[in-house]
Chains A and B, each alone.
Chain A
Amino acid sequence: MARLEQLEILSRRIFIGRMKGERRSKRRGESVEFADYRNYVVGDDLRFLDWNIYARLERLLLKLFLEEEDLNVSVLFDTSGSMDWGDPHKGLYVKRVAAALAYIGLVNYDRISLYGYSSRLVQEMAGVRGRRLIGQVVTFLRRSALGGTSDFGAVARHFALRHRGKGVVIILSDFLDKGGFQDGLRYLLSRDVDLYVIQVLAPDEIEPPLAGDLKLRDVEDDDTTEISISQPLLKAYQSGLQAYCAGLRDYCTRRGITYLFTSTRVPFDTLVISYLRQRGLLR
């Protein structure tokens, strides 16, 4: 919690820039921000006539303002059993990133929805607006338990069916999902949303500190694999991991999904401040 408090200060600086940079509304709206003029046509609201222009030019011009839309930011974070692992802890890391993003969104008056998922959407905090609700967000994140198997495909399908609105969808997960990630991403792509994929892995998963003859037990589904650690096996594991991550990245890049890989060893504030800005999630 202390780290989240600290994060607030860190996020203030981000607030100077604005969230969702390119994402200006196509509609002219009723905001205070002037956008353009256009000729008056019968039927327009007389309130928006620029009387100063009429006084000078005797022409009726209508002031157009930018419509300030609120942005739907959905953060899907993985709460499956595999996230309850690692040193630094993956689940905690993901929650912190989610909290940081939520805070940024709240400060920016975006609509923030947080979903924790494993085999289905297990925790949900939808439609939060306003920075004073950050306490609720943090509480929600703290209370969301880790466990269960992950089924990203089912979750994504469910999510896509429920949420028809536009917006930003950020997925925080390790993507160690035996059901694969392709189906889930395809469901989400079918909605007209900006997708951000952040893959979080623990350092022990990148370079496993294992030796000897082992019986590996999966924390999610109790699946076991017997291995005898050897140099070729470690090499095969690492090349497999790289291939897996590269596959995910390629899949995302090809479909316009922004992909980011991170290890929990990278401090999450560095991730939020530097990496996410580089990737265009933040400005």
Chain B
Amino acid sequence: MSFLNLWALWIAAAVIPALLILYFLKLRRREQRISSTLLWKRALHDLQVNAPFQRLRKSLLLLLQLLVLAAAILALARPIVETSAAPEGRLVILIDRSASMNTVESDGTRLDEAKEQAVRLVRVLDRRGGGWLSFLRLRGAQARIQAMVIAFSDRAAVVSPFTPNTAELVDVIRAIEPTDGQSHIREALELAEAYIAPPTMLTDETPVGTEEAARVVLFSDGRIADLAEAVLRSGQLELIKIGRARDNVGITSLVAERSYERPEVVNVLLEIENFCAEPVTASVALYIDGQLSDARVRSVELAAAEDSAAGQPGGDEAARPGPGARRGLSFELILERGALLEARLSRADALDVDNRAYAVVPTPRRQRVLVVTENNFFLDSVLAGLPLQERVFITPAQYAAGGAEYVRDERSTYDVVIFDKCSPAALPIGNFLFLKAVPPGDDVQVSAPLDDVHVPVWWDEAHPILRHVPLDYVYVARGVALRAPEDAEVLIEGPQGPLLLRHARGGRHCLVLSFAVEDSTWWQRASFPVFAYNAIRFLGGGGVTERERVRPGDTLRVVLPEGVTETRLYGPDGGTATIVPDASGASFFSGTRRVGIYQVRYRQAGEQRTDYYAVNLTDARESDIRPRGADELGTPGIAAGRAIETATPEIWRWFVGAALLILLFEWYVYNRRVMI
């Protein structure tokens, strides 16, 4: 048992001696005249002779009053039943503040509960640090136990380094704000270990192992992507499971894309998943710029989620849904302008943040493509099949002489410029596709010509440029071996080096293919037009797909038109930030903590304009709010910690009740004159 208000003992120190002094003071007796004291004296004498424990009995009232006082003071001291082991040495508190911690439990969110438990832990620490004599020392004085606090979602932040000041710790824990990010614990653990054992120079005088091992306590619902791989260098990670609710239906995916062929048509793909134990019916509404129309409300029935994956040892993946628990929905909208899409789930559940998803639909725009080539039939025919606003074929000589028609203010006037087997003298800012050529400069170099027939060895299927581009049975007769700089992204790997690489520098976004199309069998395959489509879209699309994939915690790439130097970004939670673009007009914003629409406002040509960026959770792992404890994880490095309930079982009511009972008994004793 421990106490929250030790100052109550000061009261005890003052009141109990006062009571004793009252007892030592002579009782002021009422004087009563009687005929004779003869018989009274005899009675008194008889009674005293017959009662051997007279002294003790005499003090029964005093004893009872002392008991009443003691009970009252103990109640004032707010006694608590200590239900968790006292921490020793140093303590690292990790608090998960990812999206799933925003789940609403019976009282407050999981993050609130985690913070409250962490505060209790710190309070226990405070008392342990001072022991019973802690009320003798001043607040904030040195304690033996130190603690640090790390809050993490997809990124970890040290909220407080090791400090013995528990008051400060309580303040910083209370100040931890929720995020909608995903949860990754690795960074938090690395931070913690860095603080636990800072790298030191080992000399002969340095005593090894002076730093005692720290206890690492994690407050989380267990919905952490890499929790199963979480391993501490020394000791165990103590996971205190927060939360019980599992009632959640969430939007796990939202994609809004303009049809390439018909740019006014927007295809919206929604994925909804049920994580409840029961089948649910949810209705989804699609709002366009905040407006709802009847045709955009649909009701879906979702089967119950399966629990199998939750009990899977080391199951770092999110629980796969049972059949019918996940449903995809598609909407086809006609939108001639840019718009903000918002999908809303009407069902109220424990986690609110995944009931909404946003998408930004750009204004329909078609690219202007400039092809610099001597003559290329394949390119001509492929580009003719693409829905482009304009495609212009010129020779390298025309490009070199063209001047302002093609390059203005060091920027390319076309959305995408394709250099087929040629290269300009200087590269303006813009997006470029090089076919068997390299951009000027030293970044990408041709190391040797390749005259053997070779095939692509590996390609990045997940990359947007190579999406739906199978490269099987593609043979390359002639090409060049490329030497890629460090920061280039290799998309197709050949036997002698990269066949396709992406490289961006100083606003110049280049895609370099190491061979000419006609020197390979690629043009015969259907994958080549798809590649051309993807590449032109990727280079000139203004990041249409990229924008849609931003999750909380991801870095937002803001592309501003030329001439805009400084602008402000407004978050969904009302926060603002100043954005300063670099030379290419791009800027990066990393404060995407909450889900919603981020607005970038700027003035262009005297006109106020606003760009919208959507940040969505759309993560089944965070939407799956079923809490996992150490038992469900089954990872050896993680032990189950008991919930810190020190503050909850406050038992002062019992002491008040006891005081009342003793008071009643004392009253009875006094009135019954049981005593002398």
A residues with CB within 8 A of B: 82-83, 85-86, 90, 174, 176-178, 202, 205, 208, 210, 212-220, 223-234, 236-237, 239-241, 244
Contact in complex: A213, B29 (CB < 8 Å): yes
Tell me, rounded to whole Å, the shortest Cβ–Cβ distance linking A249 to chain B.
Answer: 16
Q: Mark B26-54, 1 if CB is under 8 A from A, else 0.
A: 01011111111111111110110011000
Contact in complex: A218, B676 (CB < 8 Å): no
Contact in complex: B39, A90 (CB < 8 Å): no
Tell me, rounded to whole Å, the shortest Cβ–Cβ distance linking A106 to chain B.
Answer: 31
In the complex, which of the residues B32, B50, B51, B672 contacts A217, with contact meaning CB atoms closer than 8 Å?
B32
Give the nearest-CB partner of A81 in chain B.
Answer: B35
Q: How distant is the Cα of A129 from the Cα of B485 in the complex, in angstroms?
A: 156
Contact in complex: B34, A85 (CB < 8 Å): yes
With a cutoff of 8 Å between Cβ atoms, the chain B residues found around residue A240 in the complex are 39, 42-43, 46
B residues with CB within 8 A of A: 27, 29-44, 46-47, 50-51, 672-676
Contact status of A236 and B46, CB under 8 A, knowing A216-B37, A225-B40, A230-B675? yes
With a cutoff of 8 Å between Cβ atoms, the chain B residues found around residue A234 in the complex are 673
Q: How distant is the Cα of A241 from the Cα of B676 in the complex, in angstroms?
A: 19
Contact in complex: A215, B31 (CB < 8 Å): yes
Tell me, rounded to whole Å, the shortest Cβ–Cβ distance linking B664 to chain A.
Answer: 19
Give the nearest-CB partner of B40 in chain A.
Answer: A225
With a cutoff of 8 Å between Cβ atoms, the chain A residues found around residue B35 in the complex are 82-83, 85-86, 90, 174, 176, 202, 205, 218-220
Contact in complex: B39, A217 (CB < 8 Å): no
Contact in complex: B675, A237 (CB < 8 Å): no
In the complex, which of the residues B29, B33, B40, B675 contacts A219, with contact meaning CB atoms closer than 8 Å?
B33
Tell me, rounded to whole Å, the shortest Cβ–Cβ distance linking B28 to chain A.
Answer: 8
With a cutoff of 8 Å between Cβ atoms, the chain A residues found around residue B42 in the complex are 240, 244
With a cutoff of 8 Å between Cβ atoms, the chain B residues found around residue A90 in the complex are 35
Contact status of A216 and B32, CB under 8 A, knowing A176-B38, A230-B676, A240-B42? yes
Contact in complex: A216, B40 (CB < 8 Å): yes
A-B contact pairs, 14 of them (CB 8 A): A82-B36, A83-B35, A85-B34, A176-B38, A177-B38, A214-B31, A215-B30, A216-B40, A217-B33, A219-B36, A226-B29, A228-B27, A233-B673, A240-B46
Contact status of A237 and B40, CB under 8 A, knowing A230-B673, A231-B673, A232-B47? yes
Contact in complex: B39, A237 (CB < 8 Å): yes
Q: How distant is the Cα of A90 from the Cα of B36 in the complex, in angstroms?
A: 13
Give the nearest-CB partner of A226 in chain B.
Answer: B29
With a cutoff of 8 Å between Cβ atoms, the chain B residues found around residue A227 in the complex are 40, 44, 676
With a cutoff of 8 Å between Cβ atoms, the chain A residues found around residue B27 in the complex are 213, 228
Q: How distant is the Cα of A218 from the Cα of B674 in the complex, in angstroms?
A: 26
With a cutoff of 8 Å between Cβ atoms, the chain A residues found around residue B41 in the complex are 225
Contact in complex: B673, A217 (CB < 8 Å): no
Contact in complex: B44, A225 (CB < 8 Å): yes
With a cutoff of 8 Å between Cβ atoms, the chain A residues found around residue B40 in the complex are 216, 225, 227, 237
Q: How distant is the Cα of A44 from the Cα of B273 in the complex, in angstroms?
A: 153
Q: How distant is the Cα of A82 from the Cα of B37 in the complex, in angstroms?
A: 10
Tell me, rounded to whole Å, the shortest Cβ–Cβ distance linking B544 to chain A.
Answer: 96
Give the nearest-CB partner of B29 in chain A.
Answer: A215
Contact in complex: B673, A229 (CB < 8 Å): yes
Q: How distant is the Cα of A213 from the Cα of B634 in the complex, in angstroms?
A: 73
Contact in complex: A233, B39 (CB < 8 Å): no
Q: How distant is the Cα of A177 from the Cα of B38 in the complex, in angstroms?
A: 8
Q: How distant is the Cα of A76 from the Cα of B44 in the complex, in angstroms?
A: 32
Q: How distant is the Cα of A230 from the Cα of B43 in the complex, in angstroms?
A: 11
Q: How distant is the Cα of A208 from the Cα of B39 in the complex, in angstroms?
A: 11
With a cutoff of 8 Å between Cβ atoms, the chain B residues found around residue A212 in the complex are 30
Given A214-B32, A217-B34, 9 new contacts (CB under 8 A): A85-B33, A178-B38, A213-B27, A216-B34, A225-B40, A230-B675, A233-B47, A237-B39, A240-B42
Give the nearest-CB partner of B46 in chain A.
Answer: A236
Contact in complex: B674, A213 (CB < 8 Å): no
Contact status of A233 and B29, CB under 8 A, knowing A82-B35, A219-B34? no
Contact in complex: B676, A233 (CB < 8 Å): yes
Contact status of A218 and B34, CB under 8 A, knowing A213-B29, A230-B673, A230-B674? yes
Give the nearest-CB partner of B30 in chain A.
Answer: A214
With a cutoff of 8 Å between Cβ atoms, the chain A residues found around residue B38 in the complex are 176-178
Which of A83, A90, A214 has the most chain B CB atoms inside 10 A of its CB?
Answer: A214
With a cutoff of 8 Å between Cβ atoms, the chain B residues found around residue A174 in the complex are 35-36
With a cutoff of 8 Å between Cβ atoms, the chain B residues found around residue A232 in the complex are 47, 51, 673-674, 676
Contact in complex: A176, B36 (CB < 8 Å): yes
Contact in complex: B33, A236 (CB < 8 Å): no
With a cutoff of 8 Å between Cβ atoms, the chain A residues found around residue B33 in the complex are 85, 216-219
Give the nearest-CB partner of B48 in chain A.
Answer: A236
With a cutoff of 8 Å between Cβ atoms, the chain A residues found around residue B676 in the complex are 227-228, 230, 232-233
**What 9 A-B pairs are tightest by C-beta distance, nearest first?**
A230-B673, A176-B36, A237-B43, A236-B43, A215-B29, A85-B35, A82-B35, A218-B37, A225-B37
With a cutoff of 8 Å between Cβ atoms, the chain B residues found around residue A241 in the complex are 39
With a cutoff of 8 Å between Cβ atoms, the chain A residues found around residue B36 in the complex are 82, 174, 176, 178, 218-220
With a cutoff of 8 Å between Cβ atoms, the chain B residues found around residue A219 in the complex are 33-36
Q: How distant is the Cα of A205 from the Cα of B50 in the complex, in angstroms?
A: 23
Q: How distant is the Cα of A77 from the Cα of B27 in the complex, in angstroms?
A: 39
With a cutoff of 8 Å between Cβ atoms, the chain A residues found around residue B44 in the complex are 225, 227, 233, 236
Contact in complex: A224, B47 (CB < 8 Å): no
Tell me, rounded to whole Å, the shortest Cβ–Cβ distance linking B115 to chain A.
Answer: 57
With a cutoff of 8 Å between Cβ atoms, the chain B residues found around residue A208 in the complex are 34
With a cutoff of 8 Å between Cβ atoms, the chain B residues found around residue A225 in the complex are 37, 40-41, 44
Contact in complex: B673, A215 (CB < 8 Å): no
Q: How distant is the Cα of A210 from the Cα of B33 in the complex, in angstroms?
A: 11
Contact in complex: B672, A231 (CB < 8 Å): yes
Contact in complex: A231, B674 (CB < 8 Å): yes
With a cutoff of 8 Å between Cβ atoms, the chain B residues found around residue A177 in the complex are 38
Give the nearest-CB partner of A231 in chain B.
Answer: B673
Q: How distant is the Cα of A236 from the Cα of B49 in the complex, in angstroms?
A: 11
Tell me, rounded to whole Å, the shortest Cβ–Cβ distance linking B668 to chain A.
Answer: 12
With a cutoff of 8 Å between Cβ atoms, the chain B residues found around residue A86 in the complex are 35
Tell me, rounded to whole Å, the shortest Cβ–Cβ distance linking B520 to chain A.
Answer: 117
Q: How distant is the Cα of A215 from the Cα of B50 in the complex, in angstroms?
A: 22
Contact in complex: B47, A236 (CB < 8 Å): yes
With a cutoff of 8 Å between Cβ atoms, the chain A residues found around residue B672 in the complex are 231
In the complex, which of the residues A213, A224, A228, A244 contacts B37, with contact meaning CB atoms closer than 8 Å?
A224
With a cutoff of 8 Å between Cβ atoms, the chain B residues found around residue A218 in the complex are 33-37
Which of B36, B44, B676 has the most chain A CB atoms inside 10 A of its CB?
Answer: B36
With a cutoff of 8 Å between Cβ atoms, the chain B residues found around residue A236 in the complex are 43-44, 46-47, 50
Q: How distant is the Cα of A85 from the Cα of B31 in the complex, in angstroms?
A: 16
Give the nearest-CB partner of B58 in chain A.
Answer: A228
With a cutoff of 8 Å between Cβ atoms, the chain B residues found around residue A239 in the complex are 43, 46
With a cutoff of 8 Å between Cβ atoms, the chain A residues found around residue B30 in the complex are 212-215
